[in-house]
Structure 1
């Protein structure tokens, strides 16, 4: 969801196309908020724009500035300023392709920088930064030598309640009766994503540090070539864990990715140290429209705070035109219908939206438990 401004006539500066929006194309930040917040006032309080950008170089690779936030992805070309909007751009002149380069100006870039700060605060306020949901060991200390059936054996991990989580396998144990390295195949939606290497200790319950992170829809299968392992055939309850589902599988096929895996509910010599975290980036990207009122309230509140502090020491408008006492009331008074009161009210409502988006195990309130359990 884009953030920008509706056209207004408070300043002669023409904002670039990325910033000019309407309510159907994004969140319009200068609509329905405090009248002090205009493009002209913003440009008088935000940092100085007397900075220089590098000239375009045909042999250099440029990336999407909106994602990189790196000044090198903005260039001068024929006395005009261009912003790269496509990663991996090389050898394409800025004035030849509007799908790769955006004609911009320094004023637009400074305002975009301020919008990014507002978005960062929104992430922080909504507790959408990476937050631990669950962390635990899943294992059994196998004692009987058993030859695993079929071609491949492993475990499946899936998100539970929401796809907006990241799962990390911190450690993995495979009680294979060998000391030779074995391959661990990572499969998602019929594709071999990775091949890791494990080092078993001849049937010993040995947890090897892996730190493998994954997220996204579908089953994530972690499998090895079927072989002899130590196991007790412990019963597996795949639904007992908060934030994720996991269970053993057995596969038949010529390759790991083409094999047909079937579910079973008894252990097979694997052990895991698992952590699960809320994945904020994907949630915000696809649900930003649900927070329109909060984002606008946050933008209003932060901007009035910036006006009040005049932190960049650029404007005398708090002496001429913008009333200091009114700014103080708008940013401090929680009793009247002020910017700060609206901000906290919208923050409360936004948190309710998040709470409804996840199942009860991974709601926005509460902490987490660290458990050490057996299968």
Structure 2
């Protein structure tokens, strides 16, 4: 009797889980742990009840098997061996079967379709002439429990300007016990006014316990900066190896929007001095949007005015003024005699506007000041001199008239 002893080990190729109707791949390795080679006529034989009806994929370590690789496994199990010629005469070969040499191994790989929704444990059995304690081996597979977790976040806590780029991150974790492929993100409710881009995700399956990160970059539009939170929900989705859908719970990200509307006004005039009644003075009102949101309905409110006339209503361009932009309003004032007093002609105004969500915005007060020419002073001496000159002119004119009259009489 040869002193050989076969041992067997069985494992699942890949994840030890299955979906109903999934093909599971098993690997069985048989090793000769005895001191001697297996005898002529001995083969490696194994039986696995679960494998019946499955397909033998490969045999490595022995050159022949029944069934052959690619064929179905029957209730008789699998038998493997090397074919050797034990004859001394080449012309009359005597081919026999022989199993493993001492210390050698043979590995069987076969596919089995597994059904059900309960844990499956199956045992493979071999026969030998040695100890029976190492002649069986089992492998257990669990029913699939696919699951995904999602955490959505942003790279900022608030939005403060139009055109700001917000990077959303979607960390997708395989919280189940089976691989999930074709990961994608479905955006849900979004309180923003812009268009959310489709998140980009890494390709390839995600093993249980592993995570991948998908990303999307959103560009802030003016209507997002209202003082209300910018909220966004999403779900992650994927597929099991057999194509069954897996969907996560929703995850949300909220950003605070911080509107800061502001107007700045600079009022100027096209003259430095008022010199006479009827002079036209053009006032310019440069209005700048120094806030972070657009403003509409720009207007000028005239305030205190030291002149005696009525200030006209300034005319402003229509349309929206975006952050950083400026417009110029104008008005033309006609000086009155009462404005030419030698005292400064001062004028104060403010600019107003309206946000996209209806809030009023008022600028700083800006003042334009013009000097005025003092009127000519009339003294007592000047009045007497003027009277004397007038009297002399009157007498002269009277004498001339009398002389002409006498000439006509002559």
TM-score, normalised to structure 1, is: 0.26
TM-score, normalised to structure 2, is: 0.24
Greater share of residues in strand? 2
Of structures 1 and 2, the one with the larger relative CO (CA 8 A, separation 6+) is 1
